Amino acid sequence: MEPIRLELPTGWAMGPVNAYLFTQPEIILVDAGLKTADCWAALVDGLAAQGVAVGDIARVVITHPHVDHYGLAGRIVAESDATVWIYEAGAPWLSATGGMWAARHAYYRDTFLPRLGLPPATAEMTLAGLRGLASLADPVPDERVVTFHPGGRLQMGGQAWDIHHAPGHAGTQTIFHQPETRRLLSADMLLAVTPTPVIEHPPPGQSRRSPSLPLFLDSLDRVEALDVAMVYPGHGRPFGDPRRVINRQRERIRSRKAECLALIRAGRTTVPDLLDGMYAHQPPESRLAGLWMLVGYLDLLLAEGAVDEAEVDGVGHYRIKK
C-alpha cells in the first residue's frame, strides 16, 4: 500500500512535519511529531480519519532522532502496546533522551560555540534553543525500543522496504526504499529545499565531530543511485523526479560554498564575520540554521584544501590556503 501522509504542526517557520501511516497488515506509523498539544491533536485526528486510534498502533518507526520526528513516541507507547523501531546507533536518543540532550548542550557550551567566537548573547540564544528542543520529547522505555540496521529490511504495508543509512542532516538518519514500487521514505535526507546539516556532538570515544555537510553530499550520491519514482519526505508534499531536486541542491551548496570562499578571500576570517556576510538578511534569532550551513561550507572548504583553519585565542580563523 502507499504510505498515508499525516501533516503534524510544529509551530516552526519550516512548517509541518510529516508522519506516514500504514494500515495493513498491521498499523505502523513512520515518525511521530513533536511533544506538543497541537501536534498530538493533529495526530489523533489524522489517525481517526483513517479509522485508526492511537491504541491500534503496533509499531512506530523512527527515521532519525530529531524531536519533530520522535517527540511523541513516548506518549504513543504509553497509550498503546506499540514498540518503537530505530537504527541502533540512534536508540539512546529514545531511551536516554535527557542524557543525550545534556551531552549535546555541554558540547555546544564548552567546545563548539567557544571555538566559533560568537558574541555571548548569540551563543546563549543558541543554547536556549537547544534547551527548548530538549523539552519537546519524552523518553521511550528501553524495553519498548527495537533496533534495526542499515542493509536490512522492514516490513511495512505488506511490502519489504530496504534500510539505508543516510547521514548528513542527522548522523543516524535512515531512509527506506521500496524497490518494486520505486518509493522512497526519505525522512529529512531529501526535501524540496536543502535540509540543514545539524552539528552533532562527537560519538562516544571520539573527540572530533563528524562533518555534516560533506556527509550529506555523500548521502546524496547514494540516494541518486536508487531507482526512485516517488519521494515521501519528512517535510512537504511527496514529489517525483528526485534527480532534479538532488542536482538543484548540489548546485545551491556549490554556489553558497563559493560565496563563503569569496568572503574569506575578502578578509572575513571568523565565523561571526562570515555569518553576518552570508545571512545578513536574517535576524540573529533566526540564524541557527544558517550557522549550521556556514560550518558545513567551511567543512567542505577545509576538506577540499581550499582554506586553512588556525586557532587564535581559542577562536577559529580561516584563510585561503597558499
Q: What percent of the chain has pLDDT over 90?
A: 92
Mean pLDDT of 1-17: 96
pLDDT tier for residue 14 given thresholds of 50, 70 and 90 = confident
Q: What is the pLDDT of residues 195-226, one digit of tens each?
A: 999 999 998 888 899 999 999 999 999 999 99
Domain spans of the chain?
Answer: 4-92+136-247, 256-320
Among the listed residues 195, 201, 210, 204, the one whose alpha carbon sits nearest the alpha carbon of residue 245: 195
Please state, for a pLDDT cut of 70, what percent of the chain lies above it. Answer: 99
256-320 placed in CATH 1.10.10.10? yes
Task: Say which CATH architecture domain 4-92+136-247 belongs to.
Answer: 4-Layer Sandwich (3.60)
Q: Taking CA 129 as the corner, what is the angle to CA 10 and CA 70, rounded to the nearest 5 degrees?
A: 45
Mean pLDDT computed over 120-125: 91
Q: Residue range 130-145: average pLDDT?
A: 97
Separation of alpha carbons 61 and 155, rounded Å: 11
Distance between CA 255 and CA 293 in Å, rounded? Answer: 12
* Euclidean distance between CA atoms 248 and 245, whole angstroms: 5
Mean pLDDT of 221-235: 98
**Contacts of 14 by beta carbon, 8 Å cutoff, 6+ apart:** 235
Mean pLDDT of the residues in the chain: 96
Q: Tell me the β-bridge partners of 320.
A: 307
Phi, then psi, of 183 in degrees rounded to 5 = -105, 145
Count of beta carbons in the 10 Å neighbourhood of residue 284: 14
What pLDDT, on a 0 to 100 scale, did the predictor assign at position 322? 76
Q: For residues 293-312, give the mean pLDDT.
A: 97
Nearest-5° Cα angle at 238, 178 to 168: 75
State residue 283's pLDDT score: 78
Alpha-carbon span 23 to 47, nearest angstrom: 10
Find the helix packing angle between 271-278 and 242-265, rounded to 10°: 120
| pLDDT tens by residue, 250-300 | 999 999 999 999 999 999 999 999 999 999 888 766 776 789 999 999 999
Interatomic CA distance for residues 47 and 42, integer angstroms: 8
**Confidence class for position 27, pLDDT limits 50, 70, 90:** very high
Write out pLDDT tens, residues 33-48: 999 999 999 999 999 9
- pLDDT for residue 285: 67
Coil, strand or helix at 218: helix
Confidence at residue 72, expressed as pLDDT on a 0 to 100 scale: 99
Give pairs for 201-205: CB < 8 Å, separation 24+. 201/103, 201/104, 201/106, 201/107, 201/108, 201/112, 202/107, 203/171
Q: Is the pTM of this model over 0.75?
A: yes
**Relative orientation angle of helices 271-278 and 288-303, to the nearest 10 degrees:** 110
- Are 310 and 111 spatial neighbours (Cβ–Cβ below 8 Å)? no
Of the candidates 169, 271, 155, which has an alpha carbon nearest to the alpha carbon of residue 211?
Answer: 169
Contact 20, 33 (CB under 8 A): no
Query: Which of the residue ranges 155-164, 180-189, 278-287 would you say has the lowest mean pLDDT?
Result: 278-287
List, for residues 57-98, the tens digit of each pLDDT value: 999 999 999 999 999 999 999 999 999 999 999 999 999 999
Task: Please check whether residue 287 is in contact with residue 89, taking contact to mean a CB–CB distance below 8 angstroms.
Answer: no
- Whether 160 shows a pLDDT value over 90: the answer reads yes
